[in-house]
C-alpha cells in the first residue's frame, strides 16, 4: 500500500518551460472544481518555480522552495473519503512523484482532538499511494469550511522546473441520501510542541519517551498507524491508570536499526473498535534503541495517528482562535519540523546523504513522511481480510 513510487519519469532537458530564464512565477494560485458526476473535487495549485536542487545538499535547503499555505473552501456538503495527488508541468505532463516531498491539508475551522491546534486533514508524501476509505466512512466537512494546504518540493531532476502544478483529487460522499460513519483524524505525539519541533535526541542504547493525555470526549479508534525515525523500535498506546498496553506498533528495522516502516492496526469499524473514554488518562510511549554509541541530535520522532469515531460529534472541542497555542500553530504552519529533524539526522550520520540512504534502503527516508500527523486515511485505505494477521500486537483482549 505504501509501496514506493520509484518510477522516475525522464523529463526532457530543455523543455520550453525550463529554458525560460525570465523571473519565474512565484505567486501560485489555487482553483477548485467540483465534478459531481464522479463525486470528485479537483484542486489545482500553481505555478511553482522549482530550481534544481543538489541531491547531496542538506534537507534544510528545501525550506527555500515555496511552502505558503494556500487556502480554499470546501465546496460541497459531504464527507471526504479519499485523495490522490499528482504534479504536472506547464504542458500537463506528469512530473516524478518525488518532486513533491509532502503536501499537508489543514482545516482551519476545526480543532484537533488532543491538541489545541488546527486539524490536519490529509497528508501526502512522495511515497503515498492514492487513499480511499470504504464508502461507509468519511471525514465530515461542511460546505464553505476553510481549508488550506501547503507543500514542500524537492526537485532532484537535475534541471529547473519553471512551472509545476499540484493537482489534488479529493473523493467525497454527498451527505444527502448517504449514511456515512464520521471518522476524525487522531494524532498524539510523545513530544508534540505546537509551533515548534517535535523531534528529540536519540541517546545511545535504549531510551523511552512518553506523553500522557486525555480526550475531551469518548469514542472509538478504528485504526492506528505509527511513525518513528531510525533506531525507533516501537510506539504504543497505554491506559495510563493501569499501565495496560492497548496497542503496540512495532518498527520494521533493518540490521543497522534503520526504520523501514512502522506497523499499523485496524481494530475494526464496529464493536471491535478500541473504546477510549473521555477524561481518562492515556499514554503514548515510544522506545528507541540506538546502537551507534552517539547521541543523534533531533534524530527522533514518535507519534500515533489514526481514525477516531466520536460517540457524540457535538462534543468535539471547539477551536478557540484566541488560544495562544492555536495562534502559534497557525502562524507556524508551513514549517516542517520533521524535515529539520531528518536533515540534522543525516548530517549527524555523516556519510548518509539522502540519495545514498534512499538507494540503500528505499523506505527508510520515506518512513519519515509516510504517516504524518494529519489524516486517518493513511491507515484506512486497506481493510484487512478476515483472519489476516495484523502487523502489530494488541496487549489486551478486545472489549
Ligand atoms: Cu518524523
Distance (angstroms) between ligand 1 centre and the Cα of 17 equals 34
Residue 323 belongs to some domain of the structure: yes
Res. 368: pLDDT tops 80: no
Residue 247 belongs to some domain of the structure: yes
- Mean pLDDT score of the chain, rounded to an integer? 78
Distance (angstroms) between ligand 1 centre and the Cα of 229 equals 6
Distance (angstroms) between ligand 1 centre and the Cα of 31 equals 30
Interatomic CA distance for residues 274 and 221, integer angstroms: 5
What b/e string do you get for 341-361 counting C-beta neighbours within 10 Å, with b at 16 or more?
Answer: bbbbbbbbbeebbbeebbeeb
Number of structural domains the chain divides into = 2
Same domain, 195 and 306: yes
On whether the CB atoms of residues 133 and 68 are closer than 8 A, the answer is: no
pLDDT of residue 377: 36
Interatomic CA distance for residues 83 and 186, integer angstroms: 18
Q: Give the residue, 380 or 150, on which the prediction is more confident.
A: 150
Distance (angstroms) between ligand 1 centre and the Cα of 55 equals 20
Confidence of residue 17 (pLDDT cuts 50, 70, 90): very low
Q: What is the mean pLDDT of residues 7-32?
A: 44
Domain-ending residue, one of 141, 158, 174 = 174
Domain-ending residue, one of 174, 203, 232 = 174
Residue 79 belongs to some domain of the structure: yes
pLDDT tens digits for range 25-37: 457 899 999 999 9
Res. 79: pLDDT tops 70: yes
- What is the residue range of 188's domain? 182-379
Residue 353 belongs to some domain of the structure: yes
Out of 81-85, 244-248, 377-381, pick the least confident: 377-381
Same domain, 190 and 305: yes
Confidence of residue 66 (pLDDT cuts 50, 70, 90): low
Same domain, 354 and 216: yes
Same domain, 92 and 208: no
pLDDT of residue 146: 97
Same domain, 194 and 157: no
pLDDT of residue 57: 58
Cell representation of residue 381: 485505505
Same domain, 133 and 192: no
Distance (angstroms) between ligand 1 centre and the Cα of 300 equals 7
Distance (angstroms) between ligand 1 centre and the Cα of 337 equals 8
Residue 140 belongs to some domain of the structure: yes
Check which CATH number belongs to the domain holding 362 and give it.
Answer: 2.60.120
Distance (angstroms) between ligand 1 centre and the Cα of 354 equals 15
Enter the pTM of the model: 0.76
Residue 98 belongs to some domain of the structure: yes
Q: Which helix (H) or strand (E) holds 168?
A: strand 161-174
Same domain, 166 and 189: no
Same domain, 168 and 247: no
Of how many residues is the chain composed? 399
Q: What is the mean pLDDT of residues 143-147?
A: 97
Distance (angstroms) between ligand 1 centre and the Cα of 78 equals 31
Out of 40-49, 125-134, 186-195, 225-234, pick the least confident: 125-134
Q: At 357, phi and psi to the nearest 5? A: -65, -40
Same domain, 168 and 272: no
Res. 55: pLDDT tops 50: yes
Confidence of residue 23 (pLDDT cuts 50, 70, 90): very low
Same domain, 102 and 142: yes
On whether the CB atoms of residues 375 and 105 are closer than 8 A, the answer is: yes
Domain-ending residue, one of 106, 140, 174 = 174
Which span out of 120-124, 300-304, 337-341, 395-399 was modeled with the highest average pLDDT? 300-304
Which span out of 192-201, 289-298, 333-342 was modeled with the highest average pLDDT? 289-298
pLDDT tens digits for range 233-290: 999 999 999 999 999 999 999 999 999 888 888 888 778 899 999 999 999 999 999 9
Report the percentage of the chain scoring pLDDT > 70. 74
Residue 315 belongs to some domain of the structure: yes
Same domain, 137 and 167: yes
Interatomic CA distance for residues 36 and 83, integer angstroms: 15
Distance (angstroms) between ligand 1 centre and the Cα of 35 equals 35
Q: What DSSP state is assigned to residue 113?
A: S
Residue 14 belongs to some domain of the structure: no
Same domain, 221 and 76: no
Distance (angstroms) between ligand 1 centre and the Cα of 11 equals 30
Which span out of 3-7, 58-62, 290-294, 343-347 was modeled with the highest average pLDDT? 290-294
Distance (angstroms) between ligand 1 centre and the Cα of 397 equals 30
pLDDT tens digits for range 185-207: 999 999 999 988 889 999 999 99
Separation in Å, CA 307 to CA 41, 190, 220, 324, 380: 22, 18, 8, 27, 8
Q: 337, 344, 304: which is closest to 202 by C-alpha? A: 344
Distance (angstroms) between ligand 1 centre and the Cα of 386 equals 31
Amino acid at each position: 500500500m505504501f509501496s514506493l513510487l520509484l518510477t522516475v519519469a525522464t523529463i526532457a532537458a530543455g523543455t520550453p518551460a525550463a529554458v525560460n530564464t525570465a523571473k519565474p512565477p512565484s505567486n501560485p494560485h489555487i482553483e477548485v472544481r467540483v465534478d459531481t458526476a464522479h463525486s470528485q473535487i479537483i484542486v489545482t495549485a500553481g505555478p511553482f518555480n522549482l530550481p534544481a536542487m543538489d541531491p547531496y545538499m542538506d534537507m534544510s535547503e528545501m525550506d527555500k522552495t515555496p511552502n505558503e499555505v494556500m487556502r480554499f473552501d470546501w465546496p460541497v456538503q459531504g464527507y471526504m473519503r479519499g485523495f490522490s495527488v499528482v504534479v504536472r508541468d506547464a504542458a500537463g505532463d506528469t512530473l516524478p512523484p518525488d518532486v513533491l516531498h509532502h503536501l499537508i491539508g489543514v482545516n482551519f475551522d476545526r480543532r484537533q482532538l488532543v491538541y489545541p491546534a488546527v486539524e490536519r486533514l490529509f497528508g501526502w508524501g512522495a511515497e503515498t499511494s492514492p487513499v480511499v476509505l470504504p464508502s461507509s466512512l468519511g471525514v465530515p466537512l461542511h460546505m464553505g469550511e476553510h481549508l488550506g494546504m501547503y507543500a514542500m518540493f524537492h526537485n532532484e531532476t537535475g534541471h529547473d522546473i519553471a512551472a509545476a502544478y499540484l493537482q489534488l483529487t479529493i473523493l467525497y460522499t454527498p451527505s444527502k441520501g448517504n449514511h456515512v460513519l464520521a471518522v476524525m483524524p487522531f494524532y498524539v505525539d510523545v513530544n508534540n510542541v505546537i509551533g515548534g519541533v517535535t523531534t528529540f535526541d536519540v541517546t545511545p542504547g535504549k531510551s523511552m519517551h512518553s506523553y500522557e493525555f486525555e480526550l475531551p470526549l469518548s469514542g472509538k479508534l478504528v485504526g492506528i498507524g505509527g511513525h518513528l525515525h531510525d533506531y525507533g523500535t516501537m510506539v504504543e498506546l497505554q491506559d495510563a491508570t493501569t499501565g495496560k498496553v492497548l496497542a503496540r506498533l512495532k518498527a520494521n528495522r533493518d540490521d543497522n536499526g534503520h526504520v523501514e516502516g512502522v506497523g499499523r492496526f485496524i481494530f475494526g469499524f464496529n464493536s471491535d473498535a478500541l473504546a477510549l473514554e473521555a477524561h481518562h488518562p492515556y499514554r503514548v510511549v515510544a522506545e528507541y534503541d540506538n546502537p551507534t554509541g552517539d547521541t543523534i541530535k533531533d534524530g527522533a520522532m514518535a507519534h500515533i495517528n489514526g481514525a477516531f469515531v466520536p460517540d457524540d460529534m457535538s462534543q468535539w472541542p471547539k477551536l478557540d482562535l484566541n488560544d495562544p497555542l492555536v495562534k502559534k500553530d497557525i502562524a507556524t504552519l508551513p514549517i516542517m519540523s520533521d524535515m529539520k529533524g531528518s536533515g540534522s539526522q543525516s548530517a549527524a550520520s555523516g556519510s548518509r546523504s539522502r540519495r545514498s540512504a534512499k538507494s540503500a534502503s528505499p523506505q527508510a527516508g520515506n518512513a519519515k513522511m509516510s504517516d504524518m500527523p494529519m489524516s486517518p486515511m493513511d491507515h484506512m485505505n486497506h481493510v484487512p481480510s478476515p483472519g489476516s494477521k495484523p502487523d502489530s500486537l494488541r496487549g489486551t483482549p478486545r472489549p
